[in-house]
Amino acid sequence: MDVLLILLGLILIIVGIIGCVVPGLPGPISGWVGLLVTMSAKAIPMDWAFLSITLFVAVAISVLDYFIPAIGTKKFGGSKYGTYGSIIGLLVGIFAPIPGGILIGPFVGAFIGEYIKNSDAPQATKAAFGSFIGFLVSTGMQLIVSIVFAILYFRLLTDNWDAIKAIFS
């Protein structure tokens, strides 16, 4: 059973990292669940303080993810049209057969959204840039947290290596 929990924890850590750039997959929350599942194995001692702190970080980053692109758009004079356009552009960019679509899509989507709202190309460009910067900051923060969770996962394994080695023997 411990082997399954450790492997499921690894899968959830990987899903957490992928979820930082793929919409619809929860990034840091999946990584945290991976840590929880891994600590459920008998070979790894449960540390509630560790889990509480990492849960707080995962939830805080997940909540901020909704606000940072909007803040970036507003700082550069944009509206909700730019924010929604950025999200639509991200979805299109992921599946577009062009290199860098995941980066170009949010910018183009935000520009189109802002241009639909006020037909002012310079202002739409400025707002699109703000939305794009917000998207990059938000994604970067999630990715950093998810990578830290992956490092913590492997640290849990190495700190308890003798017990884990006994499971696989």
**Contact status, residue 125 vs residue 112, Cβ threshold 8 Å:** no
Q: Is the dihedral of CA 56, 58, 61, 64 positive or negative?
A: negative
Residue 39, domain extent: 2-168
d(Cα 83, Cα 21) in Å, to the nearest integer? 17
Element (H, E) at 122: helix 121-159
| Mean of per-residue pLDDT scores for the chain | 86
Domain total of the chain? 1
Q: Is the pTM of this model over 0.85?
A: no
Q: pLDDT (tens digit, 9 = 90+) per residue, 20-47?
A: 887 777 889 999 999 999 999 988 999 9
| pLDDT (0 to 100) of residue 2 | 85
Arithmetic mean of pLDDT, 11-16 = 96
- Residue 11 in tokens: 């899968």
Mean pLDDT of 48-75: 87
pLDDT of residue 84: 83
pLDDT of residue 13: 97
